[in-house]
Copies of this chain bind each other. A is one copy, B any other.
Amino acid sequence: MTRRDKAYPADLVSLREVGLRDGLQLVKSWPSTDEKRAWLMREHAAGVRHFEVGSFLPASRMPQFADVAAVIDAVSELDGARSAALAMNERGAADALGTAVDEIVCVVSATEEHSQANMRRSRADAIELVRAIVRLRDEAGHKAVVNAGISMAFGCSIAGRVAPDEVMRLAEACLEAGADVVGVADTVGYAGPRQVARLARSMRDLVGDGRFVVHLHDTRGMGIANAAAALDAGCLILDGSLGGLGGCPFAPGATGNVVFEDLVFLCETKGFATAIDLAALAAARAIPERAMPGEHFCGGIARAGLPAADWRA
């Protein structure tokens, strides 16, 4: 059984809750470690199993992730739960490998312009970093899955249009470099559902099944429609954040990730069982809402509640 098989079933949709990572990327204040633990426990009790919980960066740069190792430990204590965290360089990967993290996430920009501006390295160097992290992981005999995501895969706030062929070339290069899982991210929320469907079909053809990640932002209101398109195209791993936490660095005031609760509702209405208790999940929002009173949490299910009629497909 490969690392990927252990992490993601071949026949079920896996939903990754990235609120504790992407959701905290831009906030001015953030939950304490205890509040993060409570957030995880409540979501885990509701049935969530995949959590992206931070980034291995110097605490001086990203103090909201200074406790990432403790948060990974908290996930380890939850039955069946899996933690993921970003590593942006070899040092971050080495730190990650010193923890019980279940998934190390690397990012490769779809465009050379964004790669240089955002990560100060070429895309080729970013792929070499994926290779180096896989090698470090193997040398350490660590269990972690290496997940490589192509950011700006549906359009770039610097370079503009992104050719799907270019994204696929990079995804293939990540696999060749040893990544267990690859994904595509609509980092700035440019995509519409047709574009998502097309790239997701290409990804499915590349990967051989639906186990690739589609990471969507709801910046322009297309998040759930794009998730529906990804599901229809066979994608089995989708990201969202509780309450849609997580803005867009290039669109101040814009909404963030796909709302996780609404994503669960979408999946269930489409006949993809998630094993998540939606009412319990919506109730879990109380924790980040209390911990971050200045942040805006959105989402239809939390606002309106579940339908009075049977709504599961």
Contact = CB atoms under 8 A, between A and B. Distances in A.
Interface of A: 155-162, 188-195, 218-222, 224-225, 227-229, 248, 251, 253-255, 259, 262, 265-266, 268-271, 299-301, 303-305, 307-311, 313
B228 A193 contact: yes
B155 A270 contact: no
Contact of A225 (B220, B228, B301): B228
A222 B189 contact: no
Contacts of A310: 160-161
A162 B309 contact: yes
Given A220-B262, A224-B221, A157 B194 contact: no
Contact of A270 (B192, B228, B300): B192
Contacts of A228: 193, 225, 228-229
A138 B158 CA distance: 59
Contacts of A157: 308
9 contacts: A156-B309, A160-B310, A190-B308, A193-B270, A221-B259, A222-B265, A224-B224, A254-B300, A255-B303
Given A303-B253, A303-B254, A220 B265 contact: yes
Contact of A222 (B194, B229, B262): B262
A239 to B, nearest CB: 16
A161 B190 CA distance: 36
| Interface hub of A220, A229, A299, A313 (most chain B Cβ within 10 A) | A220
A191 B224 CA distance: 13
Contacts of A160: 308-310
Contacts of A161: 309-310
A274 to B, nearest CB: 13
Contact of A300 (B155, B221, B269, B313): B221
Contacts of A220: 262, 265, 300-301, 304, 307
B224 A222 contact: yes
Contact of A155 (B193, B195, B227, B309): B309
A299 B157 CA distance: 20
Contacts of A255: 300, 303-304
Given A194-B270, A251-B305, A219 B300 contact: yes
A192 B313 contact: yes
